Structure 1
Amino acid sequence: MDHQAAGQPPATLLASPSQEAFSLAHDSSLGRHFWAGAVLSGAALAIAPAYAAEVTLDTVTVTEQHDAPYQTPSKASSPKFTAPLLDTPKSVTVITEELIKDRGATSLQDVLRTTPGITLGSGEGGTPTGDRPFIRGYEASTDIFIDGVRDYARGSHETFNIESVEVIKGPSSAYTGRGGTGGSINLQTKSPKLDNFFEASTGFGNAKQWRSTVDGNVKFSESGAFRLNVMKMGGEVPGRDGVKVDRFGIAPSLAFGLGTPTRLKLSYSHIENNDMPDLGIPFKTAAHPELNRPIEVDRNNFYGRHNVDFRENVMKTATAIFEHDFTSELKFRNTTRQTKSLNHYLMSRPSFDNCVAGNTSAACNPGSASAQFRRDDRARWRSSEALINQTDLFGSFNTGSVKHSFSTGLEFGKEEIYDKTITGLPGREHDSLYNPNPNKQYNYQLQYGPQKAAGEIKTQSLYLFDTMQINDKFSINTGLRRDRFEVNNFTDSRTDSFWNYQLGAVYKPAENGSIYVSYGTSSNPSGENLGQSGGADGAAGGAAIRNLKPEKSRSWELGTKWDLLNHKLSVTAALFETKKTDARSTNPLTGDVTLGGNNRTRGLELGVSGAINPKWSIWAGYTYLDPKISSYRSGNEVFDGNRIKFIAKQSATLWTTYKVLPNLTVGGGASYMGMRYADDANQMQLPSHVRYDAMARYEFNHQLSLQLNVNNISNARVYDASHVGVFANVGPGRSYMLTGTYRFQ
């Protein structure tokens, strides 16, 4: 459907990628440095044919693939990690690029859906749509980082330009600043290499799915290289009637000085999601509170509007990373990041809000064929802009017999939120629960108010980390961070300054193993989610700014890590507890919000990743969580002793591949997600599920391969998330994708 005809704003709101790159580049002096790299993207599209003409395949020297593609890397990407991961007293889960490709994951949500210890949350229109993970029982939607720098805007992240996903478990404010109660997620992007290679993939699947990607790299000098990644994806979500997918991404990057003491990398990323928003099926009904699980309607039923609903999510990121090695023991890095995003949508919010308690009519009885649900409008135009500068100085030195590996740095950031009010919406209506009609025509005209500043956040941070190697067996890990956090929504404002720290001890009974204990803290200041909640029905708004000090969390962890089979296989185990002792809660007598709440999560986590032998790779994990509300009031309701909503007690995954023939690799696995409550009262339940996936890849030669992925083989009814029981998001059904890949080096 033509968006303009449906009452949407002029097309100039979302310019073409090249226009947006130009706009971003000219919005600030920093951006001008990126324009040269962005311009090169057009020329790089010709890399493949031009380079292919020069290649003589008979003389190509082939390097064998790494024989442990799922193995956790020896070090994290951030210099704040001052020890190898084996000797870091904290759980860190790494999902490698090879694992992402083998599983056919195309989005961050796909990756996290099969990662133990993580559950997914949902927006509802007022709370923006996009990635909303919960790590170890606590929300991490604003704790997503790209190359170590916070990505504040709520959006849907893609995998086409990702080398790995690092999930840092446990309170991480010492590393990341505000938030990070349960952990944080870092997306490590692809970088130019001193090599020439090209890879192109095209895949087709059921539900008219298709996806194409290009990854090309050119070495243009002894120390310079250019890399370009491009992605386009379309089709529908399997098992969801007419819910379309329309994505585009382009990510050029340019590097100078590779292999020398002084290096500069310029990169730009543009990702668009122009898809059909789908909030799933209506869930909670006050008329029949005994129905505490989603009603089993036809999973293909779509409760939105095909001719009305839309979502335009655009994320533009420009980054400059300058590095200099003074010596092998002292290094400097400065990262400057400018981002812009747009989250613009009109969606249908399905609910049973039309059915109040005591209503006995057939329309409010889900057991009746004439049952109805209510369809409400949710609309938003919200833009965010951020400029962040992060400086790191890191290296090593000795004090007597003690070796210090240190990292210290400064971070400055400014994040701004802009809104437009939206009126002229189609309006509320009722429709059949069992036979909804998503193809109705509506007479409406969207109207947009002027763009207004909705809020801003300013941060200033100082941090220091040190790993002290006492001897070959024992080391101590420390970290300290000071943050100044200023938030303003132009109605209220608040400034907080707070410390966070971590302390860990590591004992190595063997060179390839460690046993550790650690303690850490995190802080959640009021207004940290500014712009990520509130403001439903097109109204401007954001998270409330309370006149309260930051919430505080403290955590301990006891664990062990081992690298086995000549460092090809990693196994980990950890026991942990996180307590939030100053959680926001409502005083039932006065109605005031106070820091009188308490909650905690205890758990066990097991993991294995790597290769059992050169043919057999494995990635598996299990997490047990006991998330409990110790004290929490909302109005006159008391939730003491209940389980924290959205969190499963148990989750597990197993994925393994085996090279049965020199050219044939097969793989498969299963992911389990336990039952989750969708509300604080623990009345509404999202049932547990098991999802089975499989793949097979045949390599005709070193240039050409064909891969088949079948996900959710049993077509299990998967409920990804819920927004406090109002509706339940339905995950994809059975999907097939056959992908052909051509590469040369």
Structure 2
Amino acid sequence: MTNKTTSAAAPPALHPRPLALALSCAFAALPVHAQDLQDGAMPVVEITGAAPRANGLLNLDTASGTGSRLGLTPRETPASVTIVDRAVIEARGAQDTQEVLRAIPGVTAHNAPGNIGVSYRGFGSGSISQLFNGINVQYSIAARPVDSWIYERVEAIGGPSSFLYGSGAVGGSINYVTKLAGPRPMSEARLRLGSDDLKEASFGLNRMLGGDGAGRGDHYARIDLNHRDTGSWVDGVKSRSTQLAASLRSDFSPRFTHTLAYEFQEEDVDRPYWGTPLRNPLAGELRIDQATRFKNYNSADGVYDQRVHWLRSIAGWRVSEALQFTNTLYAYDALRDYRNVETYRFNPGNSAVIRSAVFLQRHDQRLVGDRIDGVYRGRIGARRSDWAFGLDYSVNKQTRFPNSLAVTVSTVDPYDFVTERFFDIPGMGPGFRPDRDNRVSTTALYLENRTALLPALKLVTALRHERIELELTNRRELTAASPASFERRYSPTTGRVGLVWDISPGASAYLQYATAADPPSGILTTASFADVRNNSELTTGRQAEIGAKLDFWQGKGSATLAAYSITRRNIASQDPNNSALTQLVGEQSARGVELSVGLQPTRQLSLQGNLTHVDAEYEDFRQGGVSLAGKTPANTPSTVANVWVSYAFTPALQANIGVRRVGKVYADAANTLTWPDYTFVDLGLSYQFNRHVAVVGRIRNLTDRVYAANLSATMAYLGAPRTADVALRITF
């Protein structure tokens, strides 16, 4: 449903999008030949230059390092595990990591510059671990959208997973896995042009540097590079981003390998978009003024910049067929700068926009750690029993340099206005002044086991114990509320126990119980003195889940079904006797069902879809002195559905369509403000000229649907309108 407006001003004409119109005509004129539609009539073609043709079946039999350290497949794991591999990423045209997340059942995400939001199983970003190659940087903003070119796959496990990755994973864990050097030679490139002055170039190369290919002195090098320049559908926004992933793998012997991996990510956004003001009255179903859909109320020289460096040293030693060790030494360095006016609201008569919330901010974060993992494959009596065990130590330090003004900067005409340069705002000047250092030291021991109780019945268990030391150092004036320093220590123990029953060779059922620990304020690396002093414990999470995974239709179909119940206790709730204080008495719950289905009826046709429903609510929570028991957390849709259909008209010509529907959400915890459900459609068309050259065209949000990817009390962070792009892919 398109949002209505009562503005007397006529909305401006939408931005012209000739590329989208041209692609629409191409889809309408798509040739269909009867002989190409016969099942089995087409020879198999290896599409190496174009987007790979993804198999419609669910990825249930590929080992996943995210759901278990034992290397179990999703079918073998007593949990909901999703693998979005490279073929799926390419086939669906996912531009960045945010779009990849759409393939995970029930996940919604947005990329507002200062508030990277993900909702998973009824919980938000502070209760979801977003990992990079299994490493948790403990900061949600670190999961800024990164171009998908450098990633091999994205994996996810739904529900509590602190027993694998540490505190902060009640709703689930999402793991972004980077491409690494390996034996398979590869060289590819992509050029992409699109709406809003999109210009992108990508390159990838993997080669053997020396050796005999037998694992003795073999060396492999890989580099993947991507650069993008683009404007935006919002006035004044321009961005540049560069991603580099380079790695060197050395097989010193068949038993010992080492990989050195480096990643660089850079993002520079001029005048970033923070949202569109909502029309008054702010009650019931929210609306925007269509004439402001493309307006940007930020300062004329607003900025968001990010630089990220990753370095990993990965050593693998296979002691024997039964025992192997992996040691990962890692270092992460990130610097983020903000310079913006971030909040906009209409005046009561909707005749002017009031601009406020001035922020000059720097985040300087460094993470250093080492993790040693061991896997032992043995037996207990006559039954197979496999073990994973390890030790992880890390030091995560972040310094923040905030300078903000809670003042009205200006009141402007909603449709015709000019904004100031940032440092012309009274009280703002160049330079950063540190506020405090947050230093989080974590030592963790973990153990995981899978034992065959019966040939068809496996018991999967895991246990993790952490020692977390949080140190806050004040870098500004000392007060009673902000002392020179403060320390807090936590010692959570979390675990999982699950059973997997192999009903038949293609079907299994499981049940599990898992626990988790979560910081009350969401993230320890940004916790304030008030957070740490008032919240002496971590919150606790509990989940019970039951599900099934099966193949059907003589191997042409696959499906997963899961039902779960999660409870998070001891969340910070307002003291009913003193609104300035919080107590660890709150409780939040989520109960839901997830269904995923994949079909490959013929060689030409593939279908995948998922449907999720979650009933998320506060069981015990107060805000503004009012109980919110029974209310749904903001920006949490109860239903999310996705369908993807791919059809090959000829061996060279393939079309696909994706349909996504997201249920209504609330903008406030009191559930008085709502945004309606919405549906958008993406189309894709690829043509393989030969085995080395292909062209891929896409239209995103075909119907130009206006929708809110995130809501606050006065603004909607809108999703992109209809856009289109064409990519030329080559291998050589």
**Aligned counterpart for 1:196 among listed residues 185, 202, 225:** 185
The question of 1:385 aligning with 2:366 is answered yes
- 8 A Cα contact 2:299 2:422, kept in partner: no
Distance in structure 2 (CA, Å) of the matches to 1:62 and 1:698: 13
Structure 1 range deviating more: 61-70 or 395-404 = 61-70
The question of 1:488 aligning with 2:483 is answered no
Structure-to-structure mapping, 1:184-333, within 5 angstroms: 184-221=173-210, 222=213, 223-237=218-232, 239-257=233-251, 260-276=254-270, 277-283=272-278, 288-290=281-283, 292-298=285-291, 300-305=293-298, 307-333=300-326
- 8 A Cα contact 2:206 2:223, kept in partner: yes
Distance in structure 1 (CA, Å) of the matches to 2:716 and 2:531: 23
Counterpart residue number, 1:50? none
Which blocks of at least 5 consecutive residues in structure 2 are unaligned? 1-44, 474-484
Distance 1:289 1:208, change over 3 A: closer
Counterpart residue number, 1:42? none
Structure-to-structure mapping, 1:499-514, within 5 angstroms: 499-514=493-508
The question of 1:139 aligning with 2:134 is answered no
Structure-to-structure mapping, 1:705-724, within 5 angstroms: 705-723=694-712
Distance 1:63 1:566, change over 3 A: farther
- 8 A Cα contact 1:206 1:737, kept in partner: yes
Counterpart residue number, 1:88? 77
| 1:500 alignment partner AA | T
**Aligned counterpart for 2:344 among listed residues 333, 337, 351:** 351
Show CA shifts across 1:43-95 (max 9, x none).
Answer: xxxxxxxxxxxxxxxxxx97987872764152103561453210211001221
- 8 A Cα contact 1:705 1:741, kept in partner: yes
Counterpart residue number, 1:162? 151
Distance in structure 1 (CA, Å) of the matches to 2:422 and 2:324: 62
Distance in structure 2 (CA, Å) of the matches to 1:258 and 1:92: 34
Distance in structure 1 (CA, Å) of the matches to 2:46 and 2:635: 48
Distance in structure 2 (CA, Å) of the matches to 1:323 and 1:510: 35
- 8 A Cα contact 2:235 2:294, kept in partner: yes
SS state at 1:348 partner = strand
- 8 A Cα contact 1:180 1:522, kept in partner: yes
| 2:125 alignment partner AA | A
Distance 1:593 1:439, change over 3 A: closer
Distance in structure 2 (CA, Å) of the matches to 1:66 and 1:170: 31
Distance 1:336 1:618, change over 3 A: farther
Counterpart residue number, 2:92? 103
| 2:567 alignment partner AA | K
Structure-to-structure mapping, 1:378-417, within 5 angstroms: 378-417=359-398
Distance in structure 1 (CA, Å) of the matches to 2:97 and 2:624: 36
Which blocks of at least 5 consecutive residues in structure 1 are unaligned? 1-60, 356-362, 535-540
The question of 1:590 aligning with 2:578 is answered yes
Distance in structure 2 (CA, Å) of the matches to 1:391 and 1:550: 26
| 1:559 alignment partner AA | G
Counterpart residue number, 1:46? none
SS state at 1:680 partner = coil
- Deviation, 1:545, is 4.9
**Aligned counterpart for 1:430 among listed residues 411, 417, 421:** 411
Distance 1:424 1:726, change over 3 A: closer
SS state at 2:234 partner = coil
- 8 A Cα contact 1:581 1:597, kept in partner: yes
| 2:55 alignment partner AA | A
The question of 1:149 aligning with 2:141 is answered no
| 2:234 alignment partner AA | R
**Aligned counterpart for 2:349 among listed residues 350, 365, 379:** 365
The question of 1:693 aligning with 2:685 is answered no
| 1:687 alignment partner AA | P
Structure-to-structure mapping, 1:178-189, within 5 angstroms: 178-189=167-178
- Deviation, 1:157, is 3.5
- Deviation, 1:575, is 0.6
Distance 1:587 1:424, change over 3 A: closer
Structure 1 range deviating more: 183-192 or 108-117 = 108-117
- 8 A Cα contact 1:303 1:438, kept in partner: no
SS state at 1:447 partner = coil
SS state at 2:330 partner = strand
Distance 1:543 1:252, change over 3 A: farther
Distance 1:682 1:63, change over 3 A: closer
Structure-to-structure mapping, 1:65-84, within 5 angstroms: 68=55, 71-72=58-59, 73-78=61-66, 80-84=69-73
Counterpart residue number, 1:478? 461
Distance 1:189 1:613, change over 3 A: farther
Distance 1:110 1:625, change over 3 A: same
Counterpart residue number, 1:23? none
Distance in structure 2 (CA, Å) of the matches to 1:342 and 1:266: 23
| 2:681 alignment partner AA | Y
- Deviation, 1:572, is 0.3
**Aligned counterpart for 1:342 among listed residues 331, 335, 339:** 335
Counterpart residue number, 1:639? 628
Counterpart residue number, 1:458? 441
Distance 1:371 1:533, change over 3 A: farther
SS state at 2:319 partner = strand
- Deviation, 1:424, is 10
Distance in structure 1 (CA, Å) of the matches to 2:623 and 2:615: 22
Distance 1:715 1:408, change over 3 A: same
Distance 1:629 1:305, change over 3 A: closer
Distance in structure 2 (CA, Å) of the matches to 1:77 and 1:69: 22
Counterpart residue number, 1:651? 640
- 8 A Cα contact 2:333 2:367, kept in partner: yes
| 2:368 alignment partner AA | L
Structure-to-structure mapping, 1:43-54, within 5 angstroms: none
| 2:114 alignment partner AA | T
- 8 A Cα contact 1:68 1:568, kept in partner: no
Distance in structure 1 (CA, Å) of the matches to 2:567 and 2:83: 25
- 8 A Cα contact 1:573 1:604, kept in partner: yes
Counterpart residue number, 1:629? 618
Counterpart residue number, 2:477? none
- Deviation, 1:456, is 0.8
| 2:430 alignment partner AA | Q
- Deviation, 1:351, is 2.7
Among the aligned pairs, what percent are the same residue?
21
Distance in structure 1 (CA, Å) of the matches to 2:512 and 2:277: 43
Counterpart residue number, 1:581? 569
SS state at 1:581 partner = strand
The question of 1:469 aligning with 2:469 is answered no
Distance in structure 1 (CA, Å) of the matches to 2:54 and 2:615: 37
The question of 1:572 aligning with 2:557 is answered no
Counterpart residue number, 1:129? 114
- Equivalent residues, number: 658
Distance in structure 2 (CA, Å) of the matches to 1:707 and 1:603: 37
- 8 A Cα contact 1:161 1:229, kept in partner: yes
SS state at 2:163 partner = helix
Show CA shifts across 1:387-431 (max 9, x none).
Answer: 021110013101112211211111101100113344899971111
SS state at 2:149 partner = coil
Distance 1:279 1:452, change over 3 A: closer
Counterpart residue number, 1:52? none
| 1:96 alignment partner AA | D
